[in-house]
Amino acid sequence: MKLFLPFWQRLLVTIAVMLAASYLAGLLWQSVLGFPLPSYAAGAVGGLAALPIWDLLKRIRPTQGD
């Protein structure tokens, strides 16, 4: 039987990565250009960061306790 991470765990990790990527992109943008990153651009950065994370998490299997 193949066990994968439950949906809710994948969702929580993906949302955390998405928010962190958006926040870090906003900080970087602000420090380099001196004005805030538009919200739609921050959302796009977060969404693009979430795609490979979601795919990676679908392949991760939890460890089996002995």
3-state SS track over the chain: CCCCCCHHHHHHHHHHHHHHHHHHHHHHHHHHHCCCCCHHHHHHHHHHHHHHHHHHHHHCCCCCCC
Residue 11 has pLDDT above 80, yes or no: yes
The pLDDT value given to residue 60:
82
Burial class (CB in 10 A: 0-12, 13-18, 19+), 46: buried
Average pLDDT over residues 48-56: 93
Is the Cβ–Cβ distance between 25 and 45 less than 8 Å? yes
Domain that holds residue 29: 7-59
The count of domains in the chain is 1
pLDDT of residue 48: 95
Q: Is residue 49 part of a domain?
A: yes
User: pTM of the full predicted structure?
Assistant: 0.81
Q: Is the pLDDT of residue 2 over 70?
A: no
Return the residue matching tokens 């970087």: 28
Percentage above 70 pLDDT, the chain: 92
